[in-house]
A and B are shown apart, each in its own frame.
Chain A
Amino acid sequence: MSALTNEAFLEQVIRSQRKAIRFYLIFAGGLVLLGVIVLVAAFLSPLWFITGTPIIADVFKGLFGVGGAFVTSLSAFQIKEVLNRMEKIQAFETIKTQMSGLKASPRGKNAETQKRLEELMWKIVEKAALS
Protein backbone atom coordinates (compact mmCIF):
# COMPACT_ATOMS: atom_id res chain seq x y z
CA MET A 1 0.00 0.00 0.00
CA SER A 2 1.53 3.28 -1.09
CA ALA A 3 1.80 6.43 0.93
CA LEU A 4 -0.32 8.26 -1.57
CA THR A 5 -3.11 5.74 -1.17
CA ASN A 6 -2.86 5.97 2.59
CA GLU A 7 -3.08 9.73 2.43
CA ALA A 8 -6.16 9.59 0.21
CA PHE A 9 -7.69 7.02 2.47
CA LEU A 10 -7.01 9.21 5.51
CA GLU A 11 -8.64 12.13 3.73
CA GLN A 12 -11.67 10.03 3.00
CA VAL A 13 -11.89 8.83 6.61
CA ILE A 14 -11.51 12.36 7.91
CA ARG A 15 -14.27 13.58 5.57
CA SER A 16 -16.47 10.79 6.77
CA GLN A 17 -15.83 11.77 10.39
CA ARG A 18 -16.55 15.42 9.66
CA LYS A 19 -19.79 14.46 7.99
CA ALA A 20 -20.72 12.42 11.04
CA ILE A 21 -19.89 15.40 13.27
CA ARG A 22 -22.21 17.59 11.22
CA PHE A 23 -24.97 15.03 11.53
CA TYR A 24 -24.56 14.73 15.29
CA LEU A 25 -24.37 18.47 15.73
CA ILE A 26 -27.56 18.98 13.74
CA PHE A 27 -29.19 16.14 15.64
CA ALA A 28 -28.11 17.60 19.00
CA GLY A 29 -29.25 21.05 17.92
CA GLY A 30 -32.61 19.62 16.90
CA LEU A 31 -33.01 17.94 20.26
CA VAL A 32 -32.07 21.10 22.11
CA LEU A 33 -34.52 23.07 19.99
CA LEU A 34 -37.26 20.54 20.66
CA GLY A 35 -36.57 20.66 24.39
CA VAL A 36 -36.59 24.44 24.38
CA ILE A 37 -39.89 24.44 22.49
CA VAL A 38 -41.38 22.12 25.09
CA LEU A 39 -40.01 24.27 27.90
CA VAL A 40 -41.35 27.45 26.34
CA ALA A 41 -44.69 25.77 25.77
CA ALA A 42 -44.67 24.69 29.40
CA PHE A 43 -44.27 28.19 30.73
CA LEU A 44 -45.94 30.35 28.12
CA SER A 45 -48.70 28.32 26.54
CA PRO A 46 -52.15 29.81 27.25
CA LEU A 47 -53.70 26.34 26.97
CA TRP A 48 -53.05 25.59 30.61
CA PHE A 49 -55.07 28.57 31.78
CA ILE A 50 -58.29 27.67 30.03
CA THR A 51 -60.00 26.38 33.12
CA GLY A 52 -58.54 29.09 35.29
CA THR A 53 -57.41 26.58 37.88
CA PRO A 54 -53.85 27.31 39.03
CA ILE A 55 -53.40 23.71 40.23
CA ILE A 56 -53.77 22.23 36.73
CA ALA A 57 -51.59 24.97 35.24
CA ASP A 58 -48.84 24.23 37.75
CA VAL A 59 -49.09 20.49 37.04
CA PHE A 60 -48.73 21.10 33.31
CA LYS A 61 -45.85 23.46 33.80
CA GLY A 62 -44.01 20.96 35.96
CA LEU A 63 -44.63 18.02 33.65
CA PHE A 64 -43.72 19.81 30.45
CA GLY A 65 -40.74 21.46 32.11
CA VAL A 66 -39.40 18.06 33.13
CA GLY A 67 -40.19 16.73 29.64
CA GLY A 68 -38.32 19.61 27.97
CA ALA A 69 -35.33 19.18 30.23
CA PHE A 70 -35.29 15.47 29.49
CA VAL A 71 -35.43 15.99 25.73
CA THR A 72 -32.70 18.59 25.93
CA SER A 73 -30.52 16.28 28.00
CA LEU A 74 -30.65 13.70 25.21
CA SER A 75 -28.47 15.99 23.15
CA ALA A 76 -25.59 15.22 25.52
CA PHE A 77 -25.20 11.80 23.89
CA GLN A 78 -24.82 13.42 20.48
CA ILE A 79 -22.27 15.87 21.87
CA LYS A 80 -20.33 12.92 23.22
CA GLU A 81 -20.31 11.39 19.73
CA VAL A 82 -19.14 14.70 18.29
CA LEU A 83 -16.25 14.89 20.74
CA ASN A 84 -15.36 11.29 20.01
CA ARG A 85 -15.20 11.96 16.30
CA MET A 86 -13.18 15.14 16.77
CA GLU A 87 -10.61 13.11 18.67
CA LYS A 88 -10.50 10.61 15.81
CA ILE A 89 -10.07 13.38 13.27
CA GLN A 90 -7.28 14.84 15.35
CA ALA A 91 -5.52 11.46 15.41
CA PHE A 92 -5.95 10.99 11.66
CA GLU A 93 -4.69 14.55 11.03
CA THR A 94 -1.60 13.83 13.09
CA ILE A 95 -0.88 10.64 11.18
CA LYS A 96 -1.49 12.44 7.92
CA THR A 97 1.01 15.17 8.86
CA GLN A 98 3.59 12.61 9.91
CA MET A 99 3.15 10.73 6.66
CA SER A 100 3.48 13.94 4.64
CA GLY A 101 6.75 14.66 6.43
CA LEU A 102 8.09 11.22 5.68
CA LYS A 103 7.08 11.51 2.05
CA ALA A 104 9.35 14.53 1.67
CA SER A 105 12.41 12.73 3.15
CA PRO A 106 14.55 10.01 1.33
CA ARG A 107 12.74 6.70 1.06
CA GLY A 108 15.49 4.31 2.21
CA LYS A 109 16.25 6.29 5.34
CA ASN A 110 12.71 6.51 6.60
CA ALA A 111 11.30 3.24 5.23
CA GLU A 112 11.23 1.70 8.62
CA THR A 113 9.58 4.76 10.20
CA GLN A 114 7.00 4.90 7.44
CA LYS A 115 6.19 1.25 7.89
CA ARG A 116 5.69 1.79 11.61
CA LEU A 117 3.40 4.74 10.92
CA GLU A 118 1.34 2.66 8.49
CA GLU A 119 0.98 -0.10 11.07
CA LEU A 120 0.01 2.50 13.65
CA MET A 121 -2.51 4.04 11.25
CA TRP A 122 -4.11 0.69 10.56
CA LYS A 123 -4.33 -0.02 14.25
CA ILE A 124 -6.03 3.34 14.77
CA VAL A 125 -8.31 2.72 11.86
CA GLU A 126 -9.24 -0.70 13.17
CA LYS A 127 -9.77 0.59 16.65
CA ALA A 128 -11.25 3.98 16.01
CA ALA A 129 -12.98 3.81 12.68
CA LEU A 130 -14.10 0.20 12.53
CA SER A 131 -14.82 -0.48 16.17
Chain B
Amino acid sequence: MDTPEEQIETLARNIEHRELLARRRAWLLSLVPLVFAGLLLAYTVWQVAGAKLELAQTEAQLSNTSSQLDTVESNLTSLQSQLPTAQAALTQVGEQLTQSQSALETAQQELDLSQSALATAQVDLDSARAFIRKACPINVEAIKEFMNQETPAVEMLRFLLVMQEDNIRWNPGGFSPEEGFDSPDFALYALQNFGFLTDYGRGSRPWNILRPASSLMDGDIVYYDSGYTMFYYNLPVSYGSSDTRECVIGMTPLGIQAQLIDFAESPDYLKAPYNP
Protein backbone atom coordinates (compact mmCIF):
# COMPACT_ATOMS: atom_id res chain seq x y z
CA MET B 1 0.00 0.00 0.00
CA ASP B 2 1.45 3.36 -1.09
CA THR B 3 1.68 6.24 1.31
CA PRO B 4 -0.48 9.29 0.64
CA GLU B 5 2.56 11.20 -0.62
CA GLU B 6 3.35 8.47 -3.06
CA GLN B 7 -0.26 8.39 -4.19
CA ILE B 8 -0.15 12.16 -4.73
CA GLU B 9 3.09 11.80 -6.63
CA THR B 10 1.62 9.08 -8.84
CA LEU B 11 -1.47 11.13 -9.42
CA ALA B 12 0.62 14.15 -10.40
CA ARG B 13 2.61 12.03 -12.82
CA ASN B 14 -0.61 10.73 -14.35
CA ILE B 15 -1.88 14.25 -14.75
CA GLU B 16 1.41 15.30 -16.38
CA HIS B 17 1.28 12.30 -18.64
CA ARG B 18 -2.26 13.07 -19.69
CA GLU B 19 -1.32 16.67 -20.38
CA LEU B 20 1.52 15.45 -22.52
CA LEU B 21 -0.85 13.20 -24.44
CA ALA B 22 -3.28 16.10 -24.84
CA ARG B 23 -0.51 18.22 -26.35
CA ARG B 24 0.49 15.50 -28.72
CA ARG B 25 -3.13 15.09 -29.70
CA ALA B 26 -3.37 18.84 -30.29
CA TRP B 27 -0.25 18.67 -32.45
CA LEU B 28 -1.65 15.82 -34.48
CA LEU B 29 -5.12 17.28 -34.83
CA SER B 30 -3.63 20.52 -36.09
CA LEU B 31 -0.94 18.91 -38.17
CA VAL B 32 -3.26 16.68 -40.21
CA PRO B 33 -5.27 19.57 -41.71
CA LEU B 34 -2.07 21.52 -42.13
CA VAL B 35 -0.49 18.72 -44.07
CA PHE B 36 -3.61 18.31 -46.18
CA ALA B 37 -3.77 22.02 -46.83
CA GLY B 38 -0.11 22.05 -47.75
CA LEU B 39 -0.57 19.10 -50.07
CA LEU B 40 -3.58 20.71 -51.72
CA LEU B 41 -1.72 23.96 -52.18
CA ALA B 42 1.29 22.13 -53.56
CA TYR B 43 -0.95 20.24 -55.94
CA THR B 44 -2.56 23.51 -56.96
CA VAL B 45 0.84 25.09 -57.52
CA TRP B 46 1.86 22.11 -59.60
CA GLN B 47 -1.33 22.34 -61.66
CA VAL B 48 -0.87 26.05 -62.16
CA ALA B 49 2.73 25.49 -63.16
CA GLY B 50 1.49 23.00 -65.74
CA ALA B 51 -1.09 25.49 -66.88
CA LYS B 52 1.64 28.11 -67.15
CA LEU B 53 3.67 25.77 -69.28
CA GLU B 54 0.69 25.03 -71.51
CA LEU B 55 -0.04 28.71 -71.67
CA ALA B 56 3.52 29.41 -72.71
CA GLN B 57 3.31 26.69 -75.36
CA THR B 58 -0.03 28.03 -76.55
CA GLU B 59 1.41 31.52 -76.69
CA ALA B 60 4.35 30.19 -78.67
CA GLN B 61 1.98 28.42 -81.04
CA LEU B 62 -0.13 31.54 -81.25
CA SER B 63 2.95 33.56 -82.06
CA ASN B 64 3.96 31.01 -84.67
CA THR B 65 0.46 30.97 -86.12
CA SER B 66 0.40 34.74 -86.09
CA SER B 67 3.69 34.77 -87.93
CA GLN B 68 2.36 32.31 -90.48
CA LEU B 69 -0.78 34.38 -90.78
CA ASP B 70 1.32 37.44 -91.48
CA THR B 71 3.20 35.51 -94.14
CA VAL B 72 -0.05 34.30 -95.68
CA GLU B 73 -1.44 37.81 -95.56
CA SER B 74 1.69 39.11 -97.23
CA ASN B 75 1.42 36.44 -99.91
CA LEU B 76 -2.24 37.24 -100.33
CA THR B 77 -1.46 40.91 -100.75
CA SER B 78 1.18 40.02 -103.31
CA LEU B 79 -1.26 37.77 -105.13
CA GLN B 80 -3.90 40.49 -105.02
CA SER B 81 -1.43 42.93 -106.55
CA GLN B 82 -0.70 40.37 -109.28
CA LEU B 83 -4.38 39.77 -109.85
CA PRO B 84 -4.99 42.70 -112.27
CA THR B 85 -2.03 41.59 -114.39
CA ALA B 86 -3.30 38.05 -114.35
CA GLN B 87 -6.79 39.26 -115.23
CA ALA B 88 -5.39 41.29 -118.12
CA ALA B 89 -3.43 38.28 -119.30
CA LEU B 90 -6.51 36.14 -118.87
CA THR B 91 -8.56 38.62 -120.89
CA GLN B 92 -5.89 38.58 -123.59
CA VAL B 93 -5.86 34.82 -123.58
CA GLY B 94 -9.65 34.87 -123.73
CA GLU B 95 -9.56 37.19 -126.74
CA GLN B 96 -6.97 35.00 -128.38
CA LEU B 97 -9.11 32.01 -127.57
CA THR B 98 -12.12 33.71 -129.14
CA GLN B 99 -10.08 34.53 -132.21
CA SER B 100 -8.77 31.01 -132.31
CA GLN B 101 -12.30 29.67 -131.95
CA SER B 102 -13.45 31.96 -134.73
CA ALA B 103 -10.54 30.82 -136.91
CA LEU B 104 -11.30 27.26 -135.96
CA GLU B 105 -14.94 27.71 -136.89
CA THR B 106 -13.89 29.27 -140.19
CA ALA B 107 -11.49 26.42 -140.77
CA GLN B 108 -14.23 23.99 -139.80
CA GLN B 109 -16.59 25.64 -142.28
CA GLU B 110 -13.90 25.52 -144.93
CA LEU B 111 -13.29 21.93 -144.02
CA ASP B 112 -17.00 21.23 -144.26
CA LEU B 113 -17.09 22.96 -147.62
CA SER B 114 -14.05 21.01 -148.71
CA GLN B 115 -15.62 17.81 -147.46
CA SER B 116 -18.84 18.72 -149.27
CA ALA B 117 -16.85 19.52 -152.41
CA LEU B 118 -14.94 16.30 -151.94
CA ALA B 119 -18.19 14.40 -151.54
CA THR B 120 -19.53 16.10 -154.66
CA ALA B 121 -16.29 15.32 -156.45
CA GLN B 122 -16.56 11.77 -155.19
CA VAL B 123 -20.11 11.57 -156.55
CA ASP B 124 -18.93 13.08 -159.82
CA LEU B 125 -16.02 10.67 -159.85
CA ASP B 126 -18.34 7.76 -159.20
CA SER B 127 -20.61 9.07 -161.91
CA ALA B 128 -17.63 9.50 -164.22
CA ARG B 129 -16.54 5.96 -163.43
CA ALA B 130 -20.03 4.78 -164.27
CA PHE B 131 -19.90 6.75 -167.48
CA ILE B 132 -16.45 5.35 -168.32
CA ARG B 133 -17.59 1.83 -167.53
CA LYS B 134 -20.52 2.24 -169.90
CA ALA B 135 -18.66 4.35 -172.45
CA CYS B 136 -19.13 3.70 -176.16
CA PRO B 137 -15.85 4.65 -177.82
CA ILE B 138 -16.44 6.03 -181.31
CA ASN B 139 -13.70 4.99 -183.66
CA VAL B 140 -13.68 7.32 -186.66
CA GLU B 141 -12.09 4.63 -188.84
CA ALA B 142 -14.67 2.11 -187.76
CA ILE B 143 -17.61 4.37 -188.58
CA LYS B 144 -16.09 5.85 -191.73
CA GLU B 145 -18.50 4.07 -194.04
CA PHE B 146 -21.37 4.87 -191.71
CA MET B 147 -20.43 8.52 -191.76
CA ASN B 148 -20.36 8.62 -195.54
CA GLN B 149 -24.12 8.28 -195.62
CA GLU B 150 -26.02 11.43 -196.41
CA THR B 151 -28.95 11.05 -194.05
CA PRO B 152 -30.31 13.48 -191.46
CA ALA B 153 -29.35 11.03 -188.74
CA VAL B 154 -25.74 10.96 -189.90
CA GLU B 155 -25.79 14.74 -190.26
CA MET B 156 -26.95 14.86 -186.69
CA LEU B 157 -24.11 12.52 -185.65
CA ARG B 158 -21.56 14.76 -187.33
CA PHE B 159 -23.04 17.75 -185.57
CA LEU B 160 -22.86 15.94 -182.23
CA LEU B 161 -19.22 14.99 -182.75
CA VAL B 162 -18.33 18.58 -183.68
CA MET B 163 -20.08 19.83 -180.56
CA GLN B 164 -18.17 17.22 -178.59
CA GLU B 165 -14.89 18.46 -179.99
CA ASP B 166 -15.92 22.01 -179.08
CA ASN B 167 -16.25 20.87 -175.46
CA ILE B 168 -19.72 22.21 -174.97
CA ARG B 169 -20.19 22.04 -171.22
CA TRP B 170 -22.94 20.80 -168.98
CA ASN B 171 -25.02 23.64 -167.53
CA PRO B 172 -28.61 23.00 -166.42
CA GLY B 173 -29.42 26.72 -166.65
CA GLY B 174 -28.10 27.37 -170.14
CA PHE B 175 -29.46 27.10 -173.66
CA SER B 176 -26.61 27.99 -175.98
CA PRO B 177 -23.21 26.53 -176.90
CA GLU B 178 -21.56 29.32 -174.89
CA GLU B 179 -23.67 28.80 -171.80
CA GLY B 180 -23.97 25.05 -172.05
CA PHE B 181 -27.00 22.79 -171.74
CA ASP B 182 -28.61 20.08 -169.73
CA SER B 183 -29.33 16.82 -171.54
CA PRO B 184 -32.97 17.37 -172.75
CA ASP B 185 -32.31 20.99 -173.74
CA PHE B 186 -29.24 19.93 -175.72
CA ALA B 187 -31.34 17.40 -177.64
CA LEU B 188 -33.92 20.12 -178.39
CA TYR B 189 -31.20 22.55 -179.40
CA ALA B 190 -29.66 19.98 -181.77
CA LEU B 191 -33.02 19.24 -183.39
CA GLN B 192 -33.81 22.96 -183.70
CA ASN B 193 -30.33 23.60 -185.13
CA PHE B 194 -31.29 21.49 -188.12
CA GLY B 195 -34.72 23.08 -188.42
CA PHE B 196 -36.65 20.01 -187.39
CA LEU B 197 -38.13 21.87 -184.46
CA THR B 198 -38.68 25.58 -183.88
CA ASP B 199 -39.55 28.00 -181.14
CA TYR B 200 -38.85 25.70 -178.24
CA GLY B 201 -36.80 27.26 -175.49
CA ARG B 202 -35.14 26.17 -172.32
CA GLY B 203 -37.13 23.68 -170.22
CA SER B 204 -39.23 22.35 -173.10
CA ARG B 205 -38.88 18.62 -172.73
CA PRO B 206 -38.57 16.42 -175.84
CA TRP B 207 -40.93 13.77 -174.44
CA ASN B 208 -43.64 16.48 -174.41
CA ILE B 209 -42.97 17.36 -178.05
CA LEU B 210 -41.93 14.21 -179.94
CA ARG B 211 -43.97 11.12 -180.42
CA PRO B 212 -42.93 7.86 -178.86
CA ALA B 213 -41.28 5.13 -180.92
CA SER B 214 -41.79 1.39 -180.58
CA SER B 215 -38.47 0.57 -182.25
CA LEU B 216 -35.29 2.52 -182.65
CA MET B 217 -33.58 3.85 -185.76
CA ASP B 218 -30.32 5.77 -185.98
CA GLY B 219 -30.90 9.34 -184.85
CA ASP B 220 -33.96 8.54 -182.71
CA ILE B 221 -34.17 9.87 -179.15
CA VAL B 222 -33.72 7.74 -176.06
CA TYR B 223 -34.65 9.30 -172.72
CA TYR B 224 -34.22 7.82 -169.26
CA ASP B 225 -35.85 8.22 -165.82
CA SER B 226 -32.77 10.13 -164.69
CA GLY B 227 -33.52 12.76 -167.36
CA TYR B 228 -30.75 11.95 -169.86
CA THR B 229 -31.98 12.51 -173.39
CA MET B 230 -29.61 11.04 -175.98
CA PHE B 231 -29.47 10.30 -179.72
CA TYR B 232 -29.46 6.64 -180.65
CA TYR B 233 -26.97 5.09 -183.10
CA ASN B 234 -26.21 1.50 -183.89
CA LEU B 235 -22.54 1.80 -184.86
CA PRO B 236 -20.09 -0.79 -186.24
CA VAL B 237 -17.51 -2.02 -183.79
CA SER B 238 -14.68 -1.93 -186.32
CA TYR B 239 -14.15 -1.07 -189.91
CA GLY B 240 -15.71 -3.62 -192.25
CA SER B 241 -17.18 -5.59 -189.39
CA SER B 242 -20.81 -6.50 -189.27
CA ASP B 243 -20.78 -6.34 -185.47
CA THR B 244 -22.48 -3.25 -184.14
CA ARG B 245 -22.90 -1.57 -180.82
CA GLU B 246 -25.99 0.30 -179.65
CA CYS B 247 -24.80 3.66 -178.49
CA VAL B 248 -26.41 6.88 -177.39
CA ILE B 249 -24.80 10.30 -177.73
CA GLY B 250 -25.85 13.37 -175.86
CA MET B 251 -25.13 15.86 -173.10
CA THR B 252 -23.99 14.48 -169.74
CA PRO B 253 -22.41 16.13 -166.71
CA LEU B 254 -19.07 15.16 -168.29
CA GLY B 255 -19.92 16.96 -171.49
CA ILE B 256 -21.10 15.36 -174.72
CA GLN B 257 -20.49 11.65 -174.32
CA ALA B 258 -21.18 8.48 -176.30
CA GLN B 259 -22.52 5.77 -174.00
CA LEU B 260 -23.87 2.29 -174.36
CA ILE B 261 -27.65 2.32 -174.50
CA ASP B 262 -27.95 0.59 -171.16
CA PHE B 263 -25.78 3.15 -169.29
CA ALA B 264 -28.91 4.28 -167.39
CA GLU B 265 -32.10 2.55 -166.31
CA SER B 266 -35.62 2.58 -167.80
CA PRO B 267 -35.03 3.89 -171.30
CA ASP B 268 -37.95 5.15 -173.39
CA TYR B 269 -37.85 5.99 -177.04
CA LEU B 270 -38.94 8.98 -179.10
CA LYS B 271 -39.14 9.14 -182.84
CA ALA B 272 -36.84 11.76 -184.37
CA PRO B 273 -38.65 14.16 -186.75
CA TYR B 274 -36.31 13.27 -189.60
CA ASN B 275 -37.03 9.53 -189.35
CA PRO B 276 -40.09 8.02 -190.95
- A interface residues with partner B (beta carbon < 8 Å): 1-2, 5, 8-9, 12-13, 16, 19-20, 23-24, 27, 31, 34, 50-51, 53, 56, 59-60, 63-64, 67, 70-71, 74, 77-78, 81, 125, 129-130
Count of chain B residues near A, Cβ 8 A: 29
Partner of A77 from B5, B7, B26 at Cβ < 8 Å: B26
- B133 adjacent to chain A (CB < 8 Å): no
CB-CB under 8 A for A1 and B8, given A13-B15, A130-B15, A130-B18: yes
- The answer to whether A63 touches B16 (Cβ under 8 A) is no
Residues of A contacting B: mostly? helix
Give Cα distance in the complex from A55 to B48, angstroms: 11
Main secondary structure of the interface of B (DSSP, over half): helix
B95 located at the interface, meaning its Cβ lies under 8 Å from any Cβ of chain A in the complex: no
The distance in angstroms between the C-alpha atoms of A53 and B53, with both chains bound, is: 12
Complex-state Cα separation, A24 to B30, whole angstroms: 12
Is the pair B22, A20 in contact by a Cβ cutoff of 8 Å?
yes
Asked if A12 meets B12 with Cβ closer than 8 Å, knowing A5-B4, A53-B55, A71-B37, the reply is yes
Most buried by B among A2, A23, A50, A125: A23
Residue contact A77 to B11, C-beta cutoff 8 Å: no
Shortest distance between the CB of A113 and any CB in chain B (Å): 20
Per-position 1/0 for B43-66, Cβ under 8 A of A: 011001001100110000000000
Taking CB atoms and an 8 Å cut-off, the chain B residues in 79-127 that contact chain A are: none
Q: Are B11 and A2 in contact (CB under 8 A)?
A: no
Q: Using Cβ atoms and an 8 Å threshold, which residues of chain A touch B37?
A: 67, 70-71
A-B contact pairs, 12 of them (CB 8 A): A1-B4, A5-B8, A16-B16, A27-B30, A53-B55, A56-B51, A56-B55, A59-B48, A67-B41, A71-B34, A71-B37, A74-B30
| Residues of the B chain whose Cβ atoms lie less than 8 Å from the Cβ of A71 | 34, 37
Residue of B nearest to A19 (CB): B19
Inter-chain contact A13/B14, CB cutoff 8 Å: no
Q: A24-B26, A63-B44, A71-B34 are contacts. A51–B55 as well, Cβ < 8 Å?
A: yes
Of the candidates B23, B33, B41, which one forms a contact with A64 in the assembled complex, judged by CB atoms under 8 Å apart? B41
B29 at the interface (CB under 8 A from A): yes
